[in-house]
Chains A and B, each alone.
Chain A
Amino acid sequence: AQKITQTQPGMFVQEKEAVTLDCTYDTSDPSYGLFWYKQPSSGEMIFLIYQGSYDQQNATEGRYSLNFQKARKSANLVISASQLGDSAMYFCAMREGLSNDYKLSFGAGTTVTVRA
């Protein structure tokens, strides 16, 4: 079964607007972590933000924030005030508990194109 689902293959957003990237996950482990990465065309994987299952607040890092809805098992990434440099592939990933040897499971990714 797919552990991480990203249903939006591609999205367009106008410069300076906000965009929300969807991510739903599936786990029975009460302890898990959710990660978001940005991959520009250069191929590097840039770590953006982390949300722990027991964190009381939604994670934020600069223009990135995570809309964490635990009951719905969703961890959507919000990018505010989009910039041309935000055009990239974005991946959601999950690490399940401590028994999974810290492995990450990745979603299929969402391509974001920022228009001027």
Chain B
Amino acid sequence: SAVISQKPSRDICQRGTSLTIQCQVDSQVTMMFWYRQQPGQSLTLIATANQGSEATYESGFVIDKFPISRPNLTFSTLTVSNMSPEDSSIYLCSPLTGVREQFFGPGTRLTVL
């Protein structure tokens, strides 16, 4: 299985600020998914990021709020912009490494005050 790391593992931020979450994979992957898990909820897909093209956002998520970068095949970032307490969640990256598997990064636990 791929080794996936995320930074930071957790953070506490003030409302109105932005946080950039980094996701690093130890192998090249074509697609990277970013998910959000709000407290007590299931996972919701934010967007899909392919290298060299703009990310594709799911309904309810917009690029201005969650800009994503994918500079190469092993790295991606998700920024949570102009944060509010409702953005308090676990954010997880998930690279596509195979059809019969799907692994997740360790997650970034964000608290917005």
Tell me the B residues contacting A by CB distance below 8 Å: 1, 31, 33, 37, 42-45, 48, 56, 90, 92, 94, 96, 99-104, 106-107, 109
Contacts and interface: CB of A to CB of B under 8 A. Distances in A.
Contact of A47 (B45, B92, B101): B101
B52 to A, nearest CB: 16
A84 to B, nearest CB: 22
A104 B42 contact: no
A91 B43 contact: yes
Contacts of A33: 99-100
Contacts of A109: 42
Q: Which of B37, B42, B94, B96 has the most CB of A within 10 A?
A: B42
Nearest to B45: A103
A47 B102 contact: yes
Nearest to B48: A101
Smallest CB-CB A-B distances: 6 pairs: A45-B104, A106-B42, A106-B43, A43-B107, A50-B100, A44-B106
Contact of A91 (B1, B42, B56): B42
Nearest to A6: B42
A44 B48 contact: no
A14 B22 CA distance: 40
Contacts of A104: 33, 43, 45, 94, 102
Contact of B102 (A52, A95, A101, A107): A95
Nearest to B37: A43
Q: Which of B1, B100, B109 has the most CB of A within 10 A?
A: B100
Contact of B48 (A52, A91, A95, A103): A103
A102 interface: yes
B86 to A, nearest CB: 18
